[in-house]
Amino acid sequence: MSKPRDTIKGIHPYKGPAGGWDALKSVTRHLYEQDVLVKGNRTLLDMNKPEGFDCPGCAWPDPNHHSSFEYCENGAKAIAWETTAKRADETVFDRYTIPELMAQTDHWLEDQGRLTDPLVYDAASDRYQPIAWGEAFALIARELAALQSPDEAEFYASGRTSNEAAFLYQLFVRAYGTNNFPDCSNMCHEPSSVGLPKSIGVGKGTVLLEDFEETDLILSFGHNPGTNHPRMLGTLREVAKRGARIAVFNPIRERGLERFADPKSLKDMATFGSTQLATDYFQLRIGGDIALLKGMMKCLFEWDALDHEFITTHTAGLDALRADIERSDWDEIVAVSGLPRAEITRAARLYADAKSVILCYGMGITQHHNATETVQQLMNLLLLRGNVGRPGAGICPLRGHSNVQGDRTVGIWEKPAPWLLDAIEREFGFAPPRHHGHTVVEAIEAMLDGRSKVFIGLGGNVAMASSDPAKTWAAMRRQNLTVWISTKLNRSHLVHGKQALILPCLGRTEIDAQASGPQSITVEDSMSMVHASLGMNKPASPNLKSEPVIVAGIAKATLAQTQSPVQIDWDWLVADYDRIRDLIARVIPGFTNFNEKIRTPGGFYLGNTAREREWKTQNGKANFLVFPFIAPNPNHSPKDGLVLTTVRSHDQYNTTIYGYDDRYRGVFGRRDVVFMSTEDIMALGLEGGDSISLETIGADPAIYRADGFVVVPYDLPRGCCVAYYPEANPLIPLENRDAVSGTPAYKAVPVRVMRHVAR
Ligand SMILES: Nc1nc2c(c(=O)[nH]1)N[C@H]1C(S)=C(S)[C@@H](COP(=O)(O)OP(=O)(O)OC[C@H]3O[C@@H](n4cnc5c(=O)[nH]c(N)nc54)[C@H](O)[C@@H]3O)O[C@H]1N2
Ligand SMILES: Nc1nc2c(c(=O)[nH]1)N[C@H]1C(S)=C(S)[C@@H](COP(=O)(O)OP(=O)(O)OC[C@H]3O[C@@H](n4cnc5c(=O)[nH]c(N)nc54)[C@H](O)[C@@H]3O)O[C@H]1N2
Ligand SMILES: [Mo]
């Protein structure tokens, strides 16, 4: 028999709701740990207000940017982490060699505080040492100019980057001559960006916040807003209080989807009350979404619960979809989804009975084999009942980084559309490269086999975020030069090329003073609202530069060194970011009068054609798309193992580990856990608390193996297990990815679980 969970160190079921007093306690603790109690709290009051800065936490929109207290526990942690009083300055870099830093945890590395000065790798001492900004730019220029082709360099971007910095970055890189823009979107919502345009003509969500006020039913697939989009809980609370339904499809019962006590509600706080969120919870198997969707669609066809008028006027491909769905076999649907037929039928009934439906989804959908096709099946479900382009209905992909959507909008795109390149050619008088560049996994492959020789990262931490660290680290170490533009020390700085630079930049909370005065930047949220963000705090060090200024510095030096004919006055542009915005307005559709529009509190809406039922697809219709399989991938049901999904804990922001608690899932002070169902634990002859090793099925066990995890019994469907990102990334081969979008299948890794034996 398995031990009860309470006997495993640090594992105590959490009985409270999401939010509530524990959230406030946690905020105070994180501010205290970063020595920012006073400053951080003031900073928090400026967050997500018309005259304040945009929360760097997530991309959930703010209600008109008018709320006076629109911050959440995890937004507060993000702020505490950025406004920390700690400094990673010479006291750290003089003291430790790179191998000594490598021996530290990821938490420790970032907890050294904000980077203060530009640094260069010194091979003789195996340390980073200070370098002048001008020399750093000159080094980059020399290395980029020395390449045989611009396609031998990779220009990564993480989605915190502002529209202004991102626009300059893509302009510079295209003037230099490549479309190699691997970006965090390639690891995140690329299946949405690639899959949705074929269905509805746009790769973004179609709903606005106001639609949540009118919807009858929310279908929530594979996302965990209590941790990753906490401000969404306020919206869900309103939805629930109105009596609308919320149906969740997730292998894990996430507390943040079950119950919420709003720290902003006097009543909730005074009475220890909370609101039930999910009205219906479907615990499907990992990777069971296509099967479930096909089952639901089978019911809709059977009941003829279709919006025929919408289908006739607006769509194409119904007959092919019907044929595919009728062909699908219930037994297989039940086996793959892990849900009984009656449950699937109940889900379909809920959907058929609702007038207006919003479908929200996150990484539980996109980080799979065939994720692109899964996104398209979600869209099929909505289209069958005309649930797009009318009030209270539509698709709502929960984006990741706070400006990942904006970065793509302004041109961070390895497969740029011809209109973008035409506009750049028209405005700047040079012919940008037309051939496609690399996604993240393609960049790693190119770096590994010697095709790419220089890597520049505008934010992020690819060494930890990517799948397959074995290959990723080898790829990074082969580079002639690696450059990171960063706020905090992380492992990607330590897994470096022959030459390496760390360029420290301002964070969003800080005053960005340029020749014309303090500058604001702009970002786009998950719902295509663009607004300004203005930092208020004194910069962490006088030697920091803003991201736009760093990009301009690299651009100016490099284009001079390569004797590029492209004439752009980079210094003039960054002296006043209005000038960059004027360029964006001339190149990117939807940004006319950009400077005027962002001076309106709340910003402006970029628009979405599918919301207007205008379909920018090849045939001018919304398309039903067929995927002829029920199981999404060869890994779905490994015969001699389990399928592993990797998730974020409540105390992390991607690779940034704030702490070791995952409160809502009842894990305290540790991250080395693997959740499994009690039945699977018993079948494996294990007990809760046992030390285990995991091996990836079908991959070289000498490489794709992870030791020292601990079994924790958890309410999960059979055949599934769950571990934290990034600890489990060594198990994920680079090839484990969605074929269409290239997004790693971080949520579906076939693993063999073994009792740990010391090697
Ligand atoms: N505080 C905080 N906020 C964040 C982040 C952070 O790390 N910390 N990261 C930001 C970024 S970049 C992103 S992309 C978002 C991520 O936000 P989420 O998409 O919520 O991220 P994950 O933690 O990966 O959670 C995925 C959810 O999918 C479920 N799941 C796993 N496999 C499956 C499956 O096969 N089917 C279904 N239906 N569900 C499944 C998991 O149980 C989990 O609830 O959050 C952003 N916001
Ligand atoms: N196994 C597994 N792996 C995953 C995922 C998963 O669910 N499972 N999720 C994937 C997803 S969705 C994503 S988006 C990626 C994330 O991949 P990345 O975006 O590359 O990683 P982050 O951890 O967000 O990057 C953290 C670093 O960004 C820097 N930084 C923070 N703020 C700023 C800033 O304002 N400016 C600049 N220039 N730098 C800043 C800091 O130095 C910090 O160390 O990871 C992916 N990896
Ligand atoms: Mo993401």
Which atom, in ligand 2's list, is nearest to the CA of 110?
Answer: 44
Query: Which H helix or E strand runs over 398?
Result: none
Query: Which residue, judged by its Cα, is nearest atom 24 of ligand 1?
Result: 647
What gap in Å lies between CA 551 and CA 170, rounded to an integer? 10
User: Pick from 598, 95, 17: which is nearest to 274 by CA?
Assistant: 17
**59 and 189 in contact (C-beta within 8 Å)?**
no
Can you count the helices (H) and strands (E) in the chain? 31, 31
- Report which listed range, 260-269, 288-297, 601-610, is most confident: 288-297
Tell me how far the alpha carbon of residue 61 lies from the centroid of ligand 1, in angstroms: 17
Residue nearest (by alpha carbon) to ligand 1 atom 30: 364
Residue 68: pLDDT over 50: no
- Cα–Cα dist 137/732, whole Å: 35
Per-residue pLDDT tens over the stretch 330-355:
999 999 999 999 999 999 999 999 99
Q: What domains sit in the chain, N to C, each tagged with a CATH number?
A: 34-82 (no CATH), 111-188+427-506+515-598 (3.40.50.740), 201-398 (3.40.228.10), 642-755 (2.40.40.20)
* Residue 75: per-residue pLDDT: 85
Give pLDDT tens digits for 600-655: 888 899 999 999 999 999 999 999 999 999 986 666 778 889 999 999 999 999 99
E strand or H helix that includes residue 260: strand 259-261
Distance, CA 460 to ligand 3 centroid (Å)?
11
Task: List for the chain the helix, strand, coil content (%; round to 5).
Answer: 40, 20, 45
User: Ligand 2 centroid vs 184 CA: distance in angstroms?
Assistant: 7
Closest CA to 192 of 412, 378, 317, 56: 378
The answer to whether 371 touches 222, Cβ cutoff 8 Å, is no
pLDDT band of 55, cuts 50, 70, 90: confident
pLDDT value for 65: 47
CA distance 503 to 115: 8
> Is residue 645 in contact with ligand 1, taking CB distance under 6 Å?
yes
pLDDT, tens only, 495-531: 999 999 999 999 999 999 999 999 999 999 989 999 9
H or E element: which one contains 355? none
Q: Show the DSSP H helices in 118-224 as ranges.
A: 133-145, 163-176, 190-200
CB of 612 closer than 8 Å to CB of 724: no
Contact (CB, 8 A) for 165 and 547: yes
711 C-alpha to center of ligand 1: Å? 21
Task: Identify which of 384, 388, 382 has the alpha carbon closest to the alpha carbon of residue 317.
Answer: 384
User: Positive or negative CA dihedral for 646, 647, 652, 654?
Assistant: positive
Phi-psi region of 304 (alpha: psi -120 to 50; beta: other; left: phi over 0): left
- Which atom number of ligand 2 is nearest to the Cα of residue 82? 32
Contact 203, 194 (CB under 8 A): yes
pLDDT at 590 over 50: yes
Instruction: State how far Cα 154 lies from the chain centre.
Output: 20
pLDDT tens profile 414-446: 999 999 999 999 999 999 999 999 999 999 999
Q: Residue 335 has which token pair?
A: 């086996």
Cβ of 26 closer than 6 Å to ligand 1, yes or no, is no
**What does the pLDDT read at residue 37?**
57
Give the tens place of pLDDT for each residue, 179-225.
Answer: 999 999 999 999 999 999 999 999 999 999 999 999 999 999 999 99
Angstrom distance (rounded) from CA 721 to CA 117:
43
What's the CA gap between 495 and 475, in Å, rounded?
Answer: 9
- Segment 677-703, tens digit of pLDDT: 999 999 999 999 999 999 999 999 999
CB 464 within 8 A of CB 484: no
Residue 69 predicted with pLDDT over 50: no
Distance 465 CA to ligand 3 centre (A): 10
| DSSP secondary structure letters along 203-217 | SS----GGGGGT-SE
Per the prediction, the chain carries an average pLDDT of 94
- Answer yes or no: is the C-beta of 362 below 6 A from any ligand 1 atom: yes
Indicate left, alpha or beta for 401 from its phi (over 0: left) and psi (-120 to 50: alpha).
beta
Q: 2 CB under 6 A from ligand 1?
A: no
Query: Would the pTM of this model clear 0.75, i.e. be above it?
Result: yes
Which atom of ligand 1 lies closest to the CA of 362? 19
The H or E element that residue 221 is part of is strand 217-221
**Type of residue numbered 393:** A
649 Cα to the center of ligand 1, angstroms: 9
